[in-house]
Amino acid sequence: MLQNIFMYPRNHNTNETAKEIARKYIIDSLQVTSGLHTTAQHFQPLQFLSMYEGQSVPTGTNIIGIIKGKEWGTPNDLITVVGAHWDTVNFTPGTNDNGSGVAAMLEAARAIAHSNCRPKYSIIFVAFDLEEVGSQGSLVFIKEYLMQILKSNFPDELGISRFQGAFIMDTIMNFNDTVGSQIFPTEWSLALPEVYDEIADNQHRGDFLSMIYRRDVDKKMASKFQYHWDKSTMDSRFKLSPFPLRLTAELPPMEVLADHLNFLRSDHSRFWYMNDSAVPQTLSAVLMTDTGPYRGNMKHCYHSVCDGPEVSLYSNPRSLKFLSKITQVLTDTLGDMSECQYDGNANQNSHRSNFIKTNRVHARSSAFKHGSPLRNLFNFVRWMHTTGAR
């Protein structure tokens, strides 16, 4: 995936052909390789339309695959979402941002589907489009897809309490244990002084996956992932660093959101705060990231032409192993949260620990053979405080 599909720009302005190839690959992987119930959700952006003045508004495509649990379609289901955006900014190959996140999502889906796991609760895998233009794909997915599922199972009320949450994987492959390789911005150290102290004590090494969540809202999900990370016997050099933010379930004041701007730079923020009548309550979500532009080579390759396999994959052989551990822990966590049941007398734990070693088959697409993001983010924060947002 990382060497052949996620090494070309996937942007609606600069490389429609490569984006179409990637779209077909993701659909093939979910539908053909993994056998999931798969659909493509085509949409146009709901916000920030002024940025397209004088030009056509792009059409985005969310690609959704479902592993239906025993309780699918009933009020007893406890749905978990795994999401990763598959688009890129102009001209960047996006191998790390966010080929790495999509690869982990697709491999987790394949691993669970190819195991003998029969989940009690359902898992929805979704590749979001147009994340780089204000997280438009996740906005549409929540409003027009996820909420419809929850409402259909709960005719008298929204089934928010039956939604376990979303794991968002965004830029997760950059491992760098060199002294001084990790930057910790000032606003981060103000919000998370304890985390800063730990990283400083470790001589600012970028040897960890950060797990960003709201301390009192998303803790249950974060704890599940932490448990399986600690349980994993894969390379102990790879660390998990919790980033527990003091953000509430209720929409915080504008100044508080502005202080946390860099913690809202992905699709998880759409689950946290919608400020929309269609989604009256917050949804739990956890962001997994290697901190993007604040580590090693990505300090200059983030959203740049050098975020390709040469830098993001080949420059450090540990990066792929780091991504493998993240994928394995994600798979184990999903097996736990969906309450997988196993055929026969096989040992449950042994199957979980070998999920991603099973039937290494990958989809091959036949087609393959032949405004600034930060400004959009600030506009998003302003939108969240717009009265009567729809």
Predicted pLDDT of residue 275: 75
Q: In what order do the strands lie in the sheet with 123-128?
A: 37-43, 60-67, 123-128, 79-85, 163-169, 285-289, 208-214, 239-245
Q: Where are the beta strands (DSSP E) in the chain?
A: 37-43, 60-67, 79-85, 117-119, 123-128, 163-169, 208-214, 239-245, 285-289, 340-342
Asked whether 112 and 90 are in contact (CB, 8 A), the reply is no
Asked whether 211 and 243 are in contact (CB, 8 A), the reply is yes
324 Cβ contact list (under 8 Å, min separation 6)? 234, 356
Nearest one of 149, 147, 159, 165 to 284, comparing CA atoms: 165
Q: What pairs with residue 163 in β-bridges?
A: 79
Count of alpha carbons within 13 angstroms of residue 276, beta-carbon side = 19
Rg (CA), the chain: 20
Asked whether 83 and 128 are in contact (CB, 8 A), the reply is yes
What is the four-CA torsion angle of 88, 93, 94, 96, rounded to 10 degrees?
180
Nearest one of 287, 290, 288, 286 to 312, comparing CA atoms: 290
> By three-state DSSP, how is residue 58 classified?
coil
Place of tokens 């968002």: 168
Nearest-angstrom CA–CA distance, 261 and 242: 18
Place of tokens 């309450």: 339
Predicted pLDDT of residue 100: 97
Predicted pLDDT of residue 360: 36
Nearest-angstrom CA–CA distance, 341 and 69: 10
Asked whether 195 and 241 are in contact (CB, 8 A), the reply is yes
Residue by residue, pLDDT tens for the chain (390 residues) are 998 899 999 998 888 899 999 999 999 999 999 999 999 999 998 887 777 777 788 899 999 999 999 999 888 899 999 999 999 999 999 999 999 999 999 999 999 999 988 999 999 999 999 999 888 999 999 999 998 888 876 666 656 678 999 999 999 999 999 999 999 999 999 999 999 999 999 999 999 999 999 999 999 999 999 999 999 999 999 999 999 999 999 999 989 998 999 999 899 999 999 877 777 679 999 999 999 999 999 999 999 999 999 998 898 989 999 999 999 999 999 999 999 987 654 444 444 444 443 333 333 333 333 344 445 545 545 555 554 444
Task: Compute the C-alpha angle 33/42/153, nearest 5°.
Answer: 80
204 Cβ contact list (under 8 Å, min separation 6)? 179, 180, 181, 182, 183, 184
Q: What pairs with residue 206 in β-bridges?
A: 176
DSSP 260-308: TGGG--STHHHHH---BTTB-S---EEEEE--GGGBTTHHHHTTSTT-S
Asked whether 159 and 121 are in contact (CB, 8 A), the reply is no
Asked whether 338 and 177 are in contact (CB, 8 A), the reply is no
